[in-house]
């Protein structure tokens, strides 16, 4: 695990992360990260992307945007739009440095030893084996492994997602080469031990349209679907508004400054 350092405002030497001093100098009055987290070694690709996109955004604005993206992800999930569900879940990760800054500030103020969780990571790990790519899973593993704030149980979840990804690829390839395969025979054909988990993966594949299930007695016949996987590239949301722009003023009592005709002299 790389050692973390934080530069104090106006200082030329780094302060070790475990000294606690970095927490007093990590935010300015508006909530922006002035010194920014300095890490030894390679910075995760997700963090680099977030810094490019939201360099001028305050921590509070970042947390608000993350919440809006999370709500969009949940709305897409309810609408069974799983491509958008995954897209918005991945977009929340671009704001992960803001989340870490808020988490460390809260720990300094209120104490506690609870680890950091991310709904975006949990949702992405569920969907990436079905709709995503290995590169996206690698980015998330790199992120969680880089920061000690995260619950290390997430690494086990990510590892399981890698295993599910391999199982999904093997299953889709087998179904494509053997159309009409019975679902109750798939476990033996793939040599998979956990039949119940395999059934869950097959159901998820059918839900997103990657395969098609047709009732055949007490089981289903499986056929490859027409659904293509998400392109292997960073999904980056466009900022909803200029990050350094002043808020648009609102006019109380109506949308127009022009006085009604009956009040004019």
All structural domains of the chain with their residue ranges: 1-173, 178-228
Quick count: other Cβ atoms within 10 Å of Cβ 28? 13
Compute the distance between CA of residue 180 and CA of residue 165 in angstroms, rounded to an integer. Answer: 22
The three-class DSSP label of residue 129 is helix
Residue 10, pLDDT score: 35
Give the pLDDT mean for 193-214.
Answer: 93
Give the pLDDT mean for 174-178.
Answer: 94
140-143 — which CB contacts under 8 Å span 24+ positions?
A: 140/46, 140/93, 142/44, 142/45, 142/46, 143/44, 143/46, 143/47, 143/93, 143/96
In which element (H, E) is residue 182 found?
Answer: strand 181-182
**252 vs 195, more confident:** 195
Residue 111, pLDDT score: 83
Q: What is the mean pLDDT of the chain?
A: 77
pTM for the whole structure: 0.69
pLDDT band with cut points at 50, 70 and 90 for residue 264: low
**238 vs 63, more confident:** 63
Residue 145, pLDDT score: 92
Reply yes or no on whether the pLDDT at 130 is more than 60.
yes
Reply yes or no on whether the pLDDT at 61 is more than 80.
yes
Residue 70, pLDDT score: 95
Reply yes or no on whether the pLDDT at 189 is more than 60.
yes
């Amino acid at each position: 695990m790389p050692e973390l350092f934080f530069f104090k405002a106006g200082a030329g030497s780094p302060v070790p992360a475990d000294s606690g001093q970095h927490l007093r100098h990590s935010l300015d009055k508006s909530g922006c990260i002035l010194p920014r987290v300095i890490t030894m070694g390679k910075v995760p690709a997700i963090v680099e992307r977030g810094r490019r996109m939201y360099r001028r955004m305050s921590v509070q604005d970042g947390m608000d945007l993350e919440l809006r993206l999370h709500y969009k992800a949940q709305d897409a999930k309810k609408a069974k739009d799983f491509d958008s569900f995954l897209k918005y879940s991945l977009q929340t990760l671009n704001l992960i440095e803001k989340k870490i800054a808020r988490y460390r500030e809260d720990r300094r103020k209120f104490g506690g030893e609870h680890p950091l969780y991310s709904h975006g990571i949990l949702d992405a790990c569920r969907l990436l084996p079905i709709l995503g790519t290995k590169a996206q899973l690698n980015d998330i593993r790199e992120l969680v492994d880089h920061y000690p704030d995260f619950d290390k149980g997430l690494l086990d979840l990510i590892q399981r997602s890698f295993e599910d990804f391999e199982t999904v690829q093997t299953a889709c390839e087998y179904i494509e080469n053997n159309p009409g395969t019975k679902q109750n025979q798939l476990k033996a054909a793939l040599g998979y031990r956990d039949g119940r988990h395999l059934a869950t993966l097959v159901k998820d594949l059918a839900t997103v349209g990657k395969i098609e299930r047709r009732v055949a007695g007490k089981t289903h016949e499986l056929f490859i679907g027409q659904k293509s996987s998400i392109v292997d590239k960073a999904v980056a949301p466009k900022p909803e508004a200029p990050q350094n722009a002043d808020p648009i003023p609102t006019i109380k009592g109506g949308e127009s400054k022009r006085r009604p005709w009956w009040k004019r002299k």
